[in-house]
């Protein structure tokens, strides 16, 4: 199973977390199929500092425990987001799961610098705990409490399951990203238009020149 690229264009951390599992072209890709994928995502999301990740990489059992927490959290968030958008009551078990991770919330902040500038990184008192996932659970909680459910949607492209929060002014965003599905849909529409035109020309009666 190949891992999907790290993409952070869902417009919300909780949805980016759900997008670690995707089905582009009907084939299931799961970034959380191995601890390395989760650690790469946490680093990409700015939720873990490199030293903390190195500690986890050095301890495969710890990393697997964290992965199990992450997978359970993602399932819970997915069920709650689905309930949110379909207007059904929050399922009790996923709610407990999100609260379980929220209870691990001990995160602080650390300002790091590199030659390109600064970045603010969440830190955990114990990097070897589910506390690393607390910012994700918090993001999910904020999405569920603050977001307009009508603006939490999935990409319109056939076979694409990625989530996004539509923050556009007119609320008409359709694609997970213009670069991926938007452009592909444009090309497909262009191709369909071209074929329709060709068919119409073929079926048009031939003009006869007057005798």
Of the candidates 33, 123, 129, the one whose C-alpha atom is nearest the C-alpha of residue 74 is 33
Residues in contact with Zn ion by CB under 5 A are 155, 157, 160, 162, 176, 181
- CA 6 – CA 42 distance, rounded (Å): 10
What are the phi and psi torsion angles at 120 (to 5°)?
-95, 125
CB-nearer residue toward Zn ion: 51 or 159: 159
Could you tell me the CA-to-CA distances from 50 to 16, 46, 125 in Å, in that order? 20, 10, 14
- Please state the closest distance from residue 71 (CB atom) to Zn ion, in A: 23
- CA 60 – CA 66 distance, rounded (Å): 10
- Please state the closest distance from residue 164 (CB atom) to Zn ion, in A: 8
Q: Contact at 8 Å (CB) between 131 and 105?
A: yes
- CA 21 – CA 12 distance, rounded (Å): 15
CB-nearer residue toward Zn ion: 136 or 155: 155
CB-nearer residue toward Zn ion: 17 or 138: 17
- Please state the closest distance from residue 205 (CB atom) to Zn ion, in A: 42
CB-nearer residue toward Zn ion: 24 or 91: 24
- Please state the closest distance from residue 158 (CB atom) to Zn ion, in A: 9
């Amino acid at each position: 199973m190949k891992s999907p690229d790290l993409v952070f264009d869902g417009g919300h951390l909780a949805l980016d977390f759900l997008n670690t599992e995707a089905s582009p072209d009907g084939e299931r890709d799961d970034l959380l199929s191995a601890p390395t994928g989760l650690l790469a995502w946490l680093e990409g999301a700015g939720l873990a500092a490199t030293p903390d990740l190195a500690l986890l990489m050095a301890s495969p059992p710890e990393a697997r425990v964290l992965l199990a927490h992450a997978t359970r959290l993602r399932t819970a968030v997915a069920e709650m987001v689905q309930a949110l958008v379909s207007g059904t009551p929050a399922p009790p078990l996923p709610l407990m799961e999100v609260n379980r991770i929220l209870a691990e919330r001990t995160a602080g902040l650390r300002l790091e610098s590199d030659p390109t500038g600064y970045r603010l990184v969440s830190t955990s008192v114990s990097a070897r705990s589910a506390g690393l996932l607390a910012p994700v659970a918090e993001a999910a909680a904020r999405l569920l409490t603050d977001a307009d459910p009508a603006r939490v949607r999935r990409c319109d492209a056939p076979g694409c399951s990625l989530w996004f929060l539509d923050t556009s002014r007119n609320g008409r965003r359709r694609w997970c990203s213009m670069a991926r599905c938007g452009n592909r849909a444009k090309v497909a529409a262009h191709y369909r238009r071209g074929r329709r035109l060709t068919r119409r020309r073929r079926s048009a009666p031939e003009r006869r020149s007057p005798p």
